[in-house]
Copies of this chain bind each other. A is one copy, B any other.
């Protein structure tokens, strides 16, 4: 089954567009878990077990594992394996924003899909088509290309105007062309920029977008859903991390957010 099919099935099954970001931060993990042998994995496992009937996918942010060295990478591998084993219907996105020349990108595709066993990956388009091709050729996987990111400096380059169109629109237009060939593209559009999201939705009326920026980053959920949902009230993967995973009751926070989201669907 492809990532897109897996995603469509679980969205139906769990009636949810919520993606929980598993971004472990040792400073915020409860002390009783920190004492365990594999604190990062144990922390993730608890979140996964509490929320597996509520999400459409999980997202692991590579940096939060890699910054802990070998034990961190081991926890990443173990987390993704655990999801595949216990909850095989839930796809896993590796948020790694990879981007490099073709021969190197081939190695990165191996890393992401064959070592970490992710179902989908975020990639950076700055190096152009040949840097994405080794990813796109993995047709069963989801290739999530950055268009307009959620951070304050996103506009530094992504908003620069090329022949009356900002760069992120140029990227989005290219992605729709690549998607006609490879059928496995998604885009990242930050919830912090609803006006930009509206424009990208116009270019790709049916494509799935990964939406970071709700919560801690200040994105407006209502506006995001109003302008971002597809005609059939889907097409968005709403990613939330800190507000859920470090809360006193992650399941409750996830439920609240799903309820908020589903008001507009």
Interfacial residues, chain A to chain B (CB-CB below 8 A): 23, 61, 63-64, 66-70, 73-74, 77, 97-102, 104-105, 107-108, 110-111, 114-115, 124-131, 146, 149-158, 160-163, 167, 170-171, 174, 212, 217
Contacts and interface: CB of A to CB of B under 8 A. Distances in A.
Given A63-B107, A70-B73, A162-B160, A153 B131 contact: yes
A145 to B, nearest CB: 11
Contacts of A174: 156
Interface core residue of A74, A126, A127 (most chain B CB under 10 Å):
A126
Contacts of A101: 149-151, 212, 217
Given A97-B99, A146-B126, A163-B161, A107 B67 contact: yes
Give the 10 A-B residue pairs with the shortest CB-CB distance, closest first: A128-B153, A128-B156, A63-B107, A130-B153, A101-B151, A67-B110, A67-B107, A66-B111, A126-B126, A129-B153
A106 to B, nearest CB: 8
A141 to B, nearest CB: 15
Contacts of A153: 127-131
Contacts of A105: 63
Nearest to A168: B126
Contact of A64 (B104, B115, B150): B104
A67 B106 CA distance: 9
B108 A129 contact: no
Contacts of A131: 149, 151, 153
A206 B170 CA distance: 33
A127 B102 contact: no
Contacts of A99: 97, 99, 124, 126
